[in-house]
Structure 1
Amino acid sequence: MDSFGRVVFTQWDHLQRDQQLGNDGGQCNGPSYGLFNFSSEAATATKLNDCSEVFPEPHGNGSVVPNTNVRTHRINLFTPWTVLEDGSDGEVLNHLGRQEIGGYFQESFTDDPNLTDFTGQNVELFLHIKEHPLEAGTYFATDAPEFGTHSGGKIVALPSPPTLNPDAARVQHLTADNSGRYRDPLPLSSGALIAAHTDTNAFEGGGGTFSTLYKYRLKTLVKNGQRYTAGATLTPGNGLEAKITYSGTSFDGVLWELNPVEVRARTRPARLEVPLPAPESNVFTKTGVSLGALRAYLEQNNLALIVSRNVTSRDDADRQQPFNLRVPGGCGKHCQTRQGVRRDALATVSGGSTAWHGRHQLTETRSARVGANPARSESRRGEQTRDRTLGQRRYCQ
């Protein structure tokens, strides 16, 4: 929890089509992954021979989809998010987005001269977040490759208090290039900085063994010009050694040193409460509806409510997709929602025919299901009424 009363964490932003389906040539029940969809969430759900996807654009690294004006799409960001203590009001830290801290990507359409490519601050993974105890709203993190380094990389800092315009957020790169891999940065109340560090810059795979080039030790970081490098270890000698046997597997060697915490007195942050914004609050006042009653109704019926405002223009930095959206006649209304579906894979790589554990969430056109809303005697003038549909999840083995 940061000094403003927000729980800060890393969330994977990965809204793209299933790349493993692409690796199987778009083929259901393919030779590598055996991907397929379940017909429903029921225990008796049947396996479908349909893996079609409709949202977002086809997966890829910006190449043009054949015979279209659309580029393929990929997003793979691990960004800082916040929630309140009760888990509500989840949002990206300080409204930071892809244009604020992400890297290079291309325009969505090839035939729109108003669109441009984008080059940003190129931080794709913002991991192991810690707030500076002496600088409220400055967050230290590890910027690491997704694979091959055990989440080790460079240490960065991001000053981003709630009062800062996200357009002004600037990532600070703190550690020197080619000085090993760092993770778990911990700024201390003394002003010092420690982190887990290993001397190697190599990439390595899993392999299922305990053999590794990585030897993470907690070290004090030392300022060398504009950047930090690893200094003395915090634990003496060769580090902490242990001999461990578990489930028929044994390890005998030096342990990694990770996840340091400073034990110190700290003022408890005030409980943060986010009031309902004025436009929505005014609607409840004018209609005489109780906010508490609506929440109770939604919970009782396992429903969610989407409220959208200012949807005809995009973030001012977003010039990669059409940014002034047309509103026919000034009052047109159209809402297209998607349902969540799930995909799984057969263990065909190892020759099995049972489903792997876990599910991959997809989006598809919603299946209509009428009757969730209370009946209304008439529509208000100027409204376009539509049957509400409930999303169904789709499974895959």
Structure 2
Amino acid sequence: MTRFRCRLLLLPLALCARAQAAAPAVQTAQTTQTAQTAQTAQTAQPVRLRYPLLFAAQVPPPHDHATRLSAFANHLPGIEAVPRGGDLMLRYPDGALRNLTREAGFGSEGEQGDKAIAVREPAVHWDGKRALFSMVVGSGPKAFWQVYEAAGLEAGGQVRIHRVAGQPADANNLSPFYAADGRVLFTSDRPRSGLPHLYPQLDEYEATPTTTGIWSLDPASGRLRILNHTPSGAFSPFVDSYGRIVFVRWDHLQQDQLAQRDRDAQGNGVALPFKSFNYAGEAANAPALATRAETFPESRTGGSGPYGAVSAFTTSFFTAWQMAQDGSGEETLNHVGQHELSFGHFIPSFRDDPNLSGRSVDRLHANRNSVRREGGLFQLAEDPRRRGSYLAIAARDRDTYATGQIVRLSGAPGLDAERMTVAPVTAGHPGDALPTGRFRNPLALADGTLVASHAPEVDAPAPDRPLAGLRLVRLVRGGDGLYRAGAPLTAGIRRSLWWRGAQGRQAWSGALWELEAVELRPRPRPVRARSGLEAPERAVLAAEGVDEAALRRWLTTRGLALIVTRDQTSRDRAELQQPFNLRVPGGARTVSQDTPGGRTYDIAHFQLFQGDQVRAYPGRPGRRVLAQPLHEAINPANPGGPPGSVRIARDGSTAALVPAGRALTWQTTDPQGTAVVRERNWISFQAGEMRVCASCHGVNQRDQAGRFAPLNQPEALRDLLKWWKSLPK
């Protein structure tokens, strides 16, 4: 099995306002070269490439708020969010262009009506002969992004495009890609449970519609299932050369800022702006409650408790995640945390404990380029000549069309998170004035060439200063070692179009934006090594006479997973923002070798929360996810513990049954139920999965006491198995 390390991503600064001009992700040495002088003039001879390129041509969106190129909520299908008139294009090595969708009878000239289309995100099959992409057809209210497959892409071939059967017809399905076993994978905004009254799921930031996760469709059987439940969305997934699904996830596990504004307004005696409220559950007949209460995580405004002042908590970060192709083993890429990628932006959870710190320990991370908050890493793509090296865009999360600086993220399996790095590929700037222009969709080709979509603007776009355009370009390396835009890969694709939208007749004429290029070439199918439980857990099952396969079958038929932590008192040595001197009363105790005399916290219970769509707002369809005490799985009774909790055993271990296919999070509490250490992410599991976390905050190399990851046979697992054997089978 994939070993699960429960990464607690760390505390950020307060969430920025919409208009805040945050700095870009990675800072580099400044250069005086402008974007205009950096771009090489187009030559008469086209840039020759080894393989063809598939890409999407798109009419520019009118703005960058919940539109086609936005960092989040970019899946909305309305014609105002994604203007029609683009196509799926194929560029051959000699520069010849082929309009695939138009050849297949899709799309229209002039008026963009019932036959109008927009396309996005092509992904090539392993054989290099066909490709998936998403397309929305028509401009009416019932148009959805759907997954299509294109074949006949060879020179002189007859293109064939068909809609993939079995996908949800009443949901937006996008970012499609092929699994190694032939399944079609994609992101979708279909409700996690399929219940229509929960559509759409609303994100944790502004309650904007979002995708619910990555979905799997087996064309042979028609089986559709969710692989991971993401309350604020998943983006640009692909299968890397090691067989992992690598994707970007928006980590935004925080209390509802809209509800907080309602609370503030109520306290001031003025009208509530959003009128937020909770339902009693997810069922269609669940009653509305006269409350907007939230229990997890801590407040956005701070507070106090038995351990003194509690810091306000907000978070917003887009970063790289991974999971197996069956949806198991979900975690940040190589278990990397925000203190390794975005160091220097934290506050301690308890302000009155002098041992807790907002600083990162620089000697414990090799990365020296901090990815700024209010954004993160977008549009990852693996370099075929450097396995485990990923190009990405470091960008702000709004008002940029997700354009920014190209960076390289190291993340091969086995590379410890402390040794992962983010390195600049193009020039950055602390004020987001990128001297060589703005980039999207970086791509490394098999021959070593780098290409990307490029806009010449130095500054981020604004309402009175839109992007002039995004063109596919070859990147050229300068004397400073950084890349800049070279010759365009096309002569430009121009259209003159008009449509009827919310503001009446709208017309547009100009060059289409060129996006999301992929190389049309064959690739070997990666093989993922499978493994079972590790030795400590196998020993416990053997001692209790429990067959691992039988236990997995029992979990699978009931839609459950088993999660185990060997020692909740052991935490990674670099995590200083939450308590790290921990003790189970009468049992395990782990304290930092750097602060052995610091405050020690007792932990007695492990409280689990599940992500339920129970927050609603009048006049706004759909619901937001809130963390609710675990109630969809039965565990041994825990007298005196908070709702949804299990007991922490004397050796510091915990074991619990949890629902599969639903976002979960958790915290350790003291004997009275007061939170001590909180998880900072949502994690989901597959039915039949058994995941082991050696430590509470997974250890990269050593824990806070200087020890390696625990290898004890968890007592809590033994107790759970004894209880499980007593259940009727």
Is 1:227 aligned to residue 499 of structure 2? no
Tell me, in whole angstroms, the C-alpha distance in 2 between the residues paired with 1:170 and 1:386.
34
Alignment of 1:277-356 (within 5 A): 277-330=534-587, 333-346=604-617, 353-354=618-619, 356=620
Q: How far did residue 170 of structure 1 move?
A: 1.5
**What percentage of residue pairs aligned between the two structures are identical?**
39
Alignment of 1:225-264 (within 5 A): 225-236=480-491, 239-244=492-497, 251-264=508-521
Tell me, in whole angstroms, the C-alpha distance in 1 between the residues paired with 2:294 and 2:563.
23
Secondary structure of the residue that 1:337 maps to in structure 2?
strand
Tell me, in whole angstroms, the C-alpha distance in 1 between the residues paired with 2:520 and 2:559.
42
| Distance change in 2, residues 1:173/1:302 (3 Å) | same
Is 1:71–1:109's contact at 8 Å kept on the other side of the alignment? yes
Q: How far did residue 247 of structure 1 move?
A: 6.2
Secondary structure of the residue that 2:582 maps to in structure 1?
coil
What amino acid sits opposite 1:338 in the alignment? F
Alignment of 1:12-31 (within 5 A): 12-26=250-264, 31=272
Tell me, in whole angstroms, the C-alpha distance in 2 between the residues paired with 1:246 and 1:287.
69
Q: Which has the higher strand share?
A: 2
Tell me, in whole angstroms, the C-alpha distance in 2 between the residues paired with 1:21 and 1:33.
7
Alignment of 1:379-390 (within 5 A): none
Is 2:250–2:319's contact at 8 Å kept on the other side of the alignment? yes
Q: Indicate the residue corresponding to 2:692 in structure 1.
A: none
Tell me, in whole angstroms, the C-alpha distance in 2 between the residues paired with 1:278 and 1:163.
19
Tell me, in whole angstroms, the C-alpha distance in 1 between the residues paired with 2:469 and 2:566.
50
Alignment of 1:108-257 (within 5 A): 108-118=349-359, 121-123=369-371, 124=373, 125-177=376-428, 178=434, 179-204=436-461, 212-224=466-478, 225-236=480-491, 239-244=492-497, 251-257=508-514
| Distance change in 2, residues 1:220/1:309 (3 Å) | same
Q: How far did residue 373 of structure 1 move?
A: 5.8
Q: How far did residue 321 of structure 1 move?
A: 1.3
Is 1:35–1:343's contact at 8 Å kept on the other side of the alignment? no
Q: How far did residue 202 of structure 1 move?
A: 4.0
Tell me, in whole angstroms, the C-alpha distance in 2 between the residues paired with 1:221 and 1:362.
44
What amino acid sits opposite 1:300 in the alignment? T
Q: How far did residue 142 of structure 1 move?
A: 0.7
- How many aligned residue pairs are there? 371
What amino acid sits opposite 2:370 in the alignment? N
Tell me, in whole angstroms, the C-alpha distance in 2 between the residues paired with 1:322 and 1:330.
18
| Distance change in 2, residues 1:150/1:387 (3 Å) | closer
Q: How far did residue 259 of structure 1 move?
A: 0.6
CA displacement 1:118-147 (0-9 Å, x = unmatched): 257432421111111111111111111010
What amino acid sits opposite 2:249 in the alignment? Q
Is 1:21–1:27's contact at 8 Å kept on the other side of the alignment? no
Is 1:357 aligned to residue 630 of structure 2? no
Secondary structure of the residue that 1:258 maps to in structure 2?
strand
What amino acid sits opposite 2:313 in the alignment? H
Secondary structure of the residue that 1:42 maps to in structure 2?
coil
Tell me, in whole angstroms, the C-alpha distance in 2 between the residues paired with 1:270 and 1:157.
24
Q: Indicate the residue corresponding to 2:218 in structure 1.
A: none
What amino acid sits opposite 1:357 in the alignment? P
What amino acid sits opposite 2:255 in the alignment? R
Is 1:38 aligned to residue 279 of structure 2? yes
Is 2:472–2:490's contact at 8 Å kept on the other side of the alignment? yes
Query: What runs of 5+ residues in structure 1 fail to find an aligned partner?
Result: 347-352, 376-380
Q: How far did residue 31 of structure 1 move?
A: 3.1
Q: How far did residue 278 of structure 1 move?
A: 2.1
* Aligned with residue 348 of structure 2, among 107, 112, 124: 107
CA displacement 1:174-231 (0-9 Å, x = unmatched): 2113222111110122222111111224445789xxx943511111122221322212
What amino acid sits opposite 1:3 in the alignment? S
When normalised by structure 2's length, the TM-score is 0.47
CA displacement 1:150-181 (0-9 Å, x = unmatched): 11111110122112221111210221132221
What amino acid sits opposite 1:213 in the alignment? L
Is 2:278–2:291's contact at 8 Å kept on the other side of the alignment? yes
Is 1:194–1:219's contact at 8 Å kept on the other side of the alignment? yes
Tell me, in whole angstroms, the C-alpha distance in 1 between the residues paired with 2:309 and 2:338.
23
Tell me, in whole angstroms, the C-alpha distance in 1 between the residues paired with 2:358 and 2:635.
43
Tell me, in whole angstroms, the C-alpha distance in 2 between the residues paired with 1:66 and 1:310.
28
Tell me, in whole angstroms, the C-alpha distance in 2 between the residues paired with 1:252 and 1:316.
57
Q: Indicate the residue corresponding to 1:6 in structure 2.
A: 244
Tell me, in whole angstroms, the C-alpha distance in 2 between the residues paired with 1:12 and 1:269.
26
Is 1:37–1:342's contact at 8 Å kept on the other side of the alignment? no
| Distance change in 2, residues 1:374/1:17 (3 Å) | closer
Is 1:100–1:121's contact at 8 Å kept on the other side of the alignment? no
Tell me, in whole angstroms, the C-alpha distance in 2 between the residues paired with 1:300 and 1:27.
47
Is 1:33–1:345's contact at 8 Å kept on the other side of the alignment? no
Q: How far did residue 39 of structure 1 move?
A: 1.2
Secondary structure of the residue that 2:339 maps to in structure 1?
helix
Q: Which moved more, 1:106-115 or 1:285-294?
A: 285-294
Query: What runs of 5+ residues in structure 2 fail to find an aligned partner?
Result: 1-238, 361-367, 429-433, 589-602, 638-648, 664-729
Tell me, in whole angstroms, the C-alpha distance in 1 between the residues paired with 2:321 and 2:655.
34
Q: Which moved more, 1:22-31 or 1:185-194?
A: 22-31
Is 2:565–2:655's contact at 8 Å kept on the other side of the alignment? no
* Aligned with residue 85 of structure 1, among 305, 309, 325: 325
Tell me, in whole angstroms, the C-alpha distance in 1 between the residues paired with 2:414 and 2:553.
33
Tell me, in whole angstroms, the C-alpha distance in 2 between the residues paired with 1:187 and 1:290.
46
